[in-house]
Amino acid sequence: HSRQFEVGVLDWFARLWEIEKNDYWGYITNCGTEGNLHGILVGREVFPDGILYASRESHYSVFKAARMYRMECVKVDTLISGEIDCADFRAKLLANKSKPAIINVNIGTTVKGAVDDLDLVIQTLEGCGFSRDRFYIHCDGALFGLMMPFVKRAPKVSFKKPIGSVSVSGHKFVGCPMPCGVQITRMEHVNALSSNVEYLASRDATIMGSRNGHAPIFLWYTLNRKGYNGFAKEVQKCLRNAHYLKDQLRAAGIGAMLNELSSTVVFERPRDEDFVRRWQLACEGNIAHVVVMPSVSIEKLDVFLNELVKNRSTWYQEKQPPCIAADIGKENCACPLHK
C-alpha cells in the first residue's frame, strides 16, 4: 500500500487550507466528481433535511449528487462572469428559512473559470439568519483550487472560515497521469458517514471503497519536487499567458473574456467543427474556452491564434460574427453592435 504517501499528500493540502492535523479527515479520490459526491454526502449526513444550493454554472457532478442522494436542490442564478449571484442566493435562502443549507461553492467554474465569493456567501448566509450550526459549505476546487493560493490578491479558501470540505482534482493542475483528486473535511463531520468494516480492520468513510494506490505516489512526488515556489511560478506563467491570449484575441477583433482570478479564456465558438476537434475545444452554446495550463507556451498560443484568425476570415466572408454579449457581457463582445 501507499498509505504513508497518501498521508503526506493530505498533510500538504491541510497546511495549504489551514486546518490542524488532528482536526481533518481526508483521502485521495478516484476523480474530481468523487470529491464533490463525498463533500455533498457529508453535508447531507450532517443535515438530513438540508437543501442543496448550487449556482447554475456548477459542475454537473453537483447536480448528479443531488439526484443520487434524492436531495432537494435549488439552482442559483449567476452573474455574467459565471460567479454565483448572491442577491438571488439571498432570496432563495429566505424562501427556505426553515431548512438548513448545504452550499456548493465553486473555486473556478467549468466553462468561465469564475470563482464564487466565499466570504460573500458566508455573509449572505449569516445575514439571512443562518447560524453556523445550520449550514454546510463544500468548496469544489477542481482545477483552480490548487492555483488560487498562489494568486496574489486572491481570496483565501481556508478552514479558518466556516467551511465543511474542500476537493481538488489531482490530474488537472498537478498533472497526475491518472484521474484522481484530494478530498478534505472536518473530522467532526466524518463520523456521521463512517462505518466499521470488520474484514478491513478499519473504518470506511469513502465513496468508492477501493482507490488507486499509485495516485498518492505520483501526487507526493510532484508536490515535493515542485514545492510551493514551483507551483507559484507555474501559476504566474499560466495567468500571464492567459492574459496574452485574451489580448491577442481582442486585437484580432474576436470577442473574449478572462475572469480576473482565472486562466480560462472564453471567446466566440469557432464555426468549423473540424477546427474545434483539432484543438480539442470545449464549447457551450455560442462560446468556447481555452484553459491555459503549464504546458501551453506562447508559441503554441500563436499557432492557435494564427490558425483561428486565418480560418475566421473564410467563415465570415458574407456573414457577421455572432453576438456573444449575453454570454460574456457587451464590454467583451466584438460583434458590429458592440465594437
The pLDDT value recorded for residue 200 is: 44
What is the residue type of 221? Y
The pLDDT value recorded for residue 207 is: 81
Can 313 be counted among the known catalytic residues? Answer: no
Partners of 55 in the β-ladder: 76
The pLDDT value recorded for residue 198 is: 46
Partners of 106 in the β-ladder: 140
The architecture that CATH gives domain 2-227 is 3-Layer(aba) Sandwich (3.40)
Domain boundaries, the chain: 2-227, 228-332
Alpha-carbon gap, residue 71 to 57, rounded angstroms: 18
Alpha-carbon gap, residue 279 to 282, rounded angstroms: 9
Homologous superfamily assigned to 228-332:
Aspartate Aminotransferase, domain 1 (3.90.1150.10)
Quick check: 57 and 112 in contact, CB under 8 A?
yes
The pLDDT value recorded for residue 195 is: 55
Judging by DSSP bridges, how do beta strands 287-291 and 282-284 pair with one another?
Answer: antiparallel
The pLDDT value recorded for residue 154 is: 86
CA torsion sign for 180, 182, 187, 188 is: negative
Quick check: 81 and 87 in contact, CB under 8 A?
no
The pLDDT value recorded for residue 194 is: 64
Per-residue pLDDT of the chain (339 residues; tens, 9 = 90+): 899 999 999 999 999 999 999 999 999 999 999 999 999 999 999 999 999 999 999 999 999 999 999 999 999 999 999 999 999 999 999 999 999 999 999 999 999 999 999 999 999 999 999 999 999 999 999 888 889 888 888 888 999 999 999 999 999 888 889 999 999 999 988 877 765 544 444 567 888 888 899 999 999 999 999 999 999 999 999 999 999 999 999 999 999 999 988 999 999 999 999 999 999 999 999 999 999 999 999 999 999 999 999 999 888 876 778 899 999 999 999 888 887
Catalytic residue chosen out of the listed positions 262, 263, 295, 313? 262
The pLDDT value recorded for residue 319 is: 77
CA torsion sign for 92, 97, 98, 104 is: positive
Alpha-carbon gap, residue 44 to 52, rounded angstroms: 8
Quick check: 267 and 332 in contact, CB under 8 A?
no
Quick check: 134 and 166 in contact, CB under 8 A?
no
The pLDDT value recorded for residue 203 is: 65
Report CA Rg, the chain. 21
